[in-house]
Chain A
Amino acid sequence: MSTEIGVWIAALLTLAIYSFLYKDNPFYKVAENIFVGVSAGYWAVILWFNYAWPNLFEPLIMRGSVIYLIPIIVGLMMFAPLIPRVSWLIRIPLTFTMGVAMALVILQRIQGEIFPQLQATFLPLSGVSPMQLISNLLIIFGVLSTLVYFYFSKAHRGVLGVFAKLGIWFMMVAFGASFGYTVMARISLLIGRVYFLLHNWLQLI
């Protein structure tokens, strides 16, 4: 059995968290509160040292770049709800963040997702083996029918309905494959945790 206090704490907290599988209990509550409290504190430190200090306060205080006062003022507006008379000021940082993010996301999605997906669907239907042809046709019809499913301007009836149904089937098959794949990954996480308990803590294996 391990003699390291850190290993003991980790092992007991692991068991306390797993006890939730039976039902909610005081051990889980203790572990949950420690987890939430410690992680909130940890993230506060990370945000300060990795973001706020190097990107904002360091250039302002150490290099005297007064331009950084603007983001500080905008950031302070996040606290505006504490003063009811000026609580509306919080909308400025929120909408600014959303606006900038959306502008960046549009480009990112078109360049990184939509265009590569379109290009990957332009598959050859001649000069390929019969199996490859079937595979290519499945991908082309899969993409087209899934796009049809996400067309909201017409009711899914008639030919459109058939295509939309086909799209749902394609998605469900993809979800099934993804589900199985991820469950396997989760089991490997469980194995990792059990190994920690048996190897690092109990030293049985």
Chain B
Amino acid sequence: MLLILLVFANQVELKAFDTPNDGGSSITLEWHPDTLFNSYVIFRSVDPEGNFEQICELSDRTTYFDTQVVGGEDYYYRVEARGRESAVSSYIVGPVRAFPQIFNTSRINIAVCIVVLFFAIIYYITRARRGQRLFIRKIPGITAVEEAIGRATEMGKPVLYVPGIMDIDEPETIASMSILGRVAEKTAEYGTPLYVPTSKAMVMSMAQQVVKEASIRVGRPDWFNIDNVRYLTDDQFGYVSAVDGIMVREKPATNFYLGKFYAESLILAETGFSTGAIQIAGTALPDQLPFFVAACDYTLLGEELYAASAYLSQEPVQLGSLKGQDVGKLIFVIVVILGVLDRLVGFDILYNLFNTAQQ
């Protein structure tokens, strides 16, 4: 028995190294599998001569990521392979320390993608700033904005603008704020009241700034009423019940739902529909779009929401950005075609290039 143990002793070849491409919070352990053993027990210590504490026991793997380490500190490891009748241990491996990597090399594909998009956007912004006319196709929902505000003005009723239930760290909310600026300009120009109930305090602050500045731009600072841009509650359905209340009591002739919406989308759109308001909606969440399509007069689908602000403002930075993104889409169309052909001939180069599962 002793002979057997000696023969297998030190046969577990353990490798311990800093986990690559992470923030310095993990050490990777690897060893070779052996059919004689059915479990591997991992021990760790901060001192090669000190006590090693067991940190885990594995039966089906020969790799372990130790995430219970402090970055920059030295650690020592050993693995004990256990079988039915025998057990062998590896050498003590160390010192190993976890440290952060500045670049995650597995994300180079994403970096390349961002750089390409960046230069495409900069190129088109420069062209737009030089005064070149950049063509953007007509989007029906956007062209209806003015008509919808005009309708509310003729009826002597207010306009309701719902910017979604998420905060200003969501792209949809930012796009919504941009469109709100344009809507506020028009409503201020016509002297039509504009209600903007919000679900987040920062969105309220931002909306107040946007509406106020829009009223100043069109020379109607007196039109701006800070109480019309107000915070209701952070709670999703509490917010919806309050907005529904505004709809049935104030009876706005035009409702805008532009931003990020979840389960409240249909409740809002159906209530608005029941009050007879003209409704324009837009969101990038595919799960909520069907409800807006079903219950609203116009719907901005996905990226049309982002395109809307550029289209309405005709501002060079936004137009250039939109055109740059179009370049990205064109590249993606080509990549899809090439990727399918790549799989057809069995190379799988592009398939592996766009793999993000291991990042």
Contact = CB atoms under 8 A, between A and B. Distances in A.
Most buried by B among A28, A47, A115, A172: A115
A182 interface: yes
B168 A112 contact: no
Interface residues of B, number: 70
B241 A155 contact: no
B289 A175 contact: yes
Contact of B171 (A102, A156, A186): A102
Interface residues of A, number: 66
Contacts of B326: 151-153
Contact of A24 (B136, B205, B233, B248): B248
A119 B355 CA distance: 7
Main secondary structure of the interface of A (DSSP, over half): helix
Interface string A59-80: 0000000000000000000100
Contact of A152 (B205, B286, B322, B359): B322
Contacts of A150: 302-304, 329
A140 interface: yes
Most buried by A among B174, B241, B249: B241
Main secondary structure of the interface of B (DSSP, over half): helix
Interface in B98-112: 107, 109-110
B221 interface: no
Contacts of A105: 169-171
A17 B245 CA distance: 11
Nearest to A189: B263
Given A78-B202, A118-B335, A35 B241 contact: yes
Interface string B274-318: 000000000000110111011000000111100100000000000
Nearest to A91: B209
For the complex of A and B, list the 3 residue pairs with the smallest distance between their C-beta atoms, beginning with the closest.
Answer: A39-B235, A101-B169, A39-B238
10 contacts: A36-B241, A39-B233, A81-B208, A98-B169, A100-B169, A122-B336, A122-B342, A155-B138, A156-B137, A182-B291
Interface of A: 17, 20, 23-24, 28-29, 31-32, 35-40, 42-43, 47, 78, 81, 90-91, 93-94, 97-98, 100-102, 105-107, 110-112, 114-116, 118-119, 121-126, 140, 143-144, 147-148, 150-156, 171-172, 174-176, 178-179, 182, 186
Given A35-B238, A122-B354, 6 more contacts: A97-B168, A105-B170, A148-B333, A171-B301, A178-B286, A179-B294
